Structure 1
Amino acid sequence: MYKLLIVDDEPIVRKGIRSFVDFEALSIDHVFEASNGSEALTIFKKELPHMVLADINMPKMNGLDFAALAKEVKPDVKIAVITGYDYFDYAVKALKTGIDDYILKPVSRKDIFELLQKLVDKLREEKVTSEINHVVKDLKDQSGIDEQDTYQSRLYNLVEENIGNKGLTLSLLAEEMGLSVGYLSGLFKKLFGQSFKEYVLARRLERAKILLLSSDMKNYEITDVIGFDDPNYFSTCFKKKYGVAPSKYKEKIRND
C-alpha cells in the first residue's frame, strides 16, 4: 500500500481530490494534506509518502521548490504537479529536474485518477526491477557463481520443450518456475534482452526455418508443429522476419 501527500493552497481542491478519487483502487491507504510547500515539507519529512500531488503556484514555498527539497529527502518519491497554462513551460522544464509528471488545470476526476495511476505503475515497476536485481545479487553472493545463467538455462529449456505447445504462456513458465507472472516478465526481459512473446516468436520462426530446409512438410504441418494457430499468421510473421514467404524460403536459400 502507498502513502500520498496532496499539496494545494485551496482547501476545496484538496477536499475534492480526497472525495472523488478511489484511493483503494490505487492501493493508496494513507492520504495527507498540506496548504503550502513549507507545511508540506514538514509533513513529508515525518511521513515519507511514496507519492506527491502538488500545485505549482502556492504561498511561502512553491510546488517546484518543495519538490526539489522532497527529492533530496527521498529520491525515489514520485511527484506530479498541477499547473495552469501560465506555468506550463515552467512545469515542462521541471520534468527534466526530477518531477515525474504534470497535469493542466482545470482537472477532472478521470485526469487525477489516471495521473496517480501512472505514479503507482512507476512505483510497481521499480519494485519489480529492484527485487530482480536483489535476487540475482544474493544468489551470486551465496553461491560464488553466476546464478543468472542457471535461470536463463532453465527458462531456455522450458521454452524449447514447449515450443510446439499452443498453450505456452508466461503464466505456464511462472508456474513451472514457482514465480509470479509479473516478476518473471521482468526477469525474462533482463536475461534474454527481449520480452517473452518476442523471444518465443523468434524461436518458433527459427524452428520453422530448420523444418523448411530439412523436410518436405507443408506450411500447415509446420504451423502446427511450432505452436502457431493460424497458417496465414505464421506465413505473415515468417515473411516479415526473413523477407520471403515460407513456400519460397528453400528456393531462396538454394539460389543464394
Structure 2
Amino acid sequence: MWKIAIVDDEPKIRRGFKSWIIEHSKCFEWVFDAKNGEECLVNIQSMHVDLYLLDIHMEGLNGLELGKIIKKKNPNSLIVYITGYDYFEYAHEAIKVQAFDYLLKPVPQSDFLKLLQKANSTLSDIYPDRTVKAVKREEQRCGGCSQIVMQGKEYIKDHYGDPDLSLEKAAKLLNVHKDYLSKLMKEELGYSFIEYLTQVRVNTAKELLEQDQSNVRMYDIARKIGYKSQHYFSRTFKKNVGSTPLQYRKEKSDLKNWEIY
C-alpha cells in the first residue's frame, strides 16, 4: 500500500482525512499526521512516504517550504497542498513548481477520494513493481447513455466548482452544439445541463454541511461549489432541498447528537 501523511494545524482536518483513508481507501495507508512542518520533519527521518497532504498556511515552517524539503529528500513523493480561499494563489503557484495537486477547503469526501484515485494511478506509473489495484466504488450509470452525455456528466463533476462553468463552454469542448447537448442530457438523464450542474452542486453542499465542520463559513461553501453569491447559493439550496443551508446543517447536527444518546 502507498504511504500517506497529513500535515495540518487543524485537528478536525487531520482526523477527517485520516478516517476517510482508513474507511474508504484500499490503496493508501495512513502512517502519521503532524500539526506543523517541524513535527513532520521529525517523522519523515525514519520512514518513506509516497503522498503528503500539506496545509499551506502554518506557523513556523509553512507548507510550501516543507514541500521543497520533502522534494529534495525524495523527488518521487507526491505533494498535495491544502488551502483556503485566502491562500488560493499560493496553491496555484505551488502547482506550477512542484505540487501534484491541491485541495481547496472545505473538502468534500468525494473530491478527496477522487484525488486518491488519481494519486494511485500516478504512483503506479512511478513504481510499477509496487502497483496497488484500486478498489473503486461502483457508480450508478444511466443505462444506455450516449458517449456525449457521459462526457457531459464527467465534465460537470470535474468542474462544478468553476463559477464560469457554462453549457456553452462544455459544448465547445465536447464539439457539439449547446442546444443538442442540453436536450440529449434531458432525454437520457431527466435533467438538462444546467439542472444536472445544480444537482451536483447542491449534493456537494449537502455533503459539506453534513461534515463536522461547524466553523466553515457559508460563503466558503458557496464559492467551493461554484457560486459567487452566498445569497444565490442559499436561495438555490432552499429551492432544491426545502431548507436553507444553515437549517440543513442544524438538522443534521441535531440528528447526530440524538443518535449519540
Structure having the higher helix fraction is 1
Higher relative contact order (CA 8 A, sep 6+): 2
Q: TM-score, normalised by structure 1?
A: 0.48
Structure with larger Rg: 1
Q: TM-score, normalised by structure 2?
A: 0.47
